[in-house]
Amino acid sequence: MNILNQLSVWLSFQLSLVFIVGIPLTLLFWSIKNKSKAITKLLTNYWKISLLFFISLILLIGKYNYALLITNISTVVMAISVWFWNDINDELKEYGISHALTTTTKVWRWSLTFISLSFLIQSLKNISCISFINSAECEIWLKPSTNLYLILKNLFNFLFGASLSQPVAKFLGLFALLIYVLGLVQWATIKLPKSGRNSGFSNYGRN
């Protein structure tokens, strides 16, 4: 059962990389090339929100106890963000299945939602890891961040001539989390009351 659990966690992270990073990055370049303001705005907003996911990975490297909780929050918030904007939703409804970019975006949104729910369910199977990642049974959640740790360690050493230790990763992750939360609070208290669920994509790209 432990092997199946490890495989399930590994698969969850691999699918996350595809649907959280690979596909939306491809869609962003595709939408820019096709000059689709609605989808470009959708993906731009998505990437701003998805920063929380990458912050959670840094916190996993630093073995911060609530890192997995933040990872789950990030995936849920990302799924909500791609459905949130009323004007973008209305724009996407205007295109039929023959419009490849729009259809791919719609499929990706549903897939991202499914992946987020699947990730949450997988985490609940190891519910103790949500509040205490440093226990032995939670080690399977730390392994997927190993490759990212090696990349960041080499990059950190190249830029600053120092090693990226777990305490440093934890500090950087918490600092980035603080900045992210402050930005989110600012948006929720200042911009959201003014614009509501209107993304204003029609004005996107104007000077």
Q: Which two three-digit tokens encode residue 163? A: 């090693």
Which pLDDT score, from 0 to 100, does residue 207 have?
A: 40
Q: Give the integer Cα–Cα distance in Å for 87 and 38.
A: 8
Q: Give the integer Cα–Cα distance in Å for 51 and 38.
A: 21
Q: Give the integer Cα–Cα distance in Å for 79 and 112.
A: 6
Whether 173 contacts 64, CB under 8 Å: yes
Q: Give the integer Cα–Cα distance in Å for 58 and 10.
A: 17
Q: Give the integer Cα–Cα distance in Å for 30 and 8.
A: 31
Q: Give the integer Cα–Cα distance in Å for 193 and 191.
A: 6
For the chain, the first-to-last Cα distance in angstroms comes to: 57
Which pLDDT score, from 0 to 100, does residue 177 have?
A: 96
Q: Give the integer Cα–Cα distance in Å for 10 and 4.
A: 10
Q: Give the integer Cα–Cα distance in Å for 78 and 115.
A: 11
pLDDT tens, N- to C-terminus, the chain (207 residues):
466 666 667 677 777 778 888 999 999 999 999 999 999 999 999 999 999 998 998 898 888 999 989 999 999 999 999 999 999 999 999 888 888 999 999 999 999 999 888 888 888 887 888 888 888 778 878 776 766 666 666 666 666 666 677 888 889 899 999 999 999 999 999 988 988 899 887 776 554
Q: Give the integer Cα–Cα distance in Å for 110 and 100.
A: 16
Which pLDDT score, from 0 to 100, does residue 1 have?
A: 43
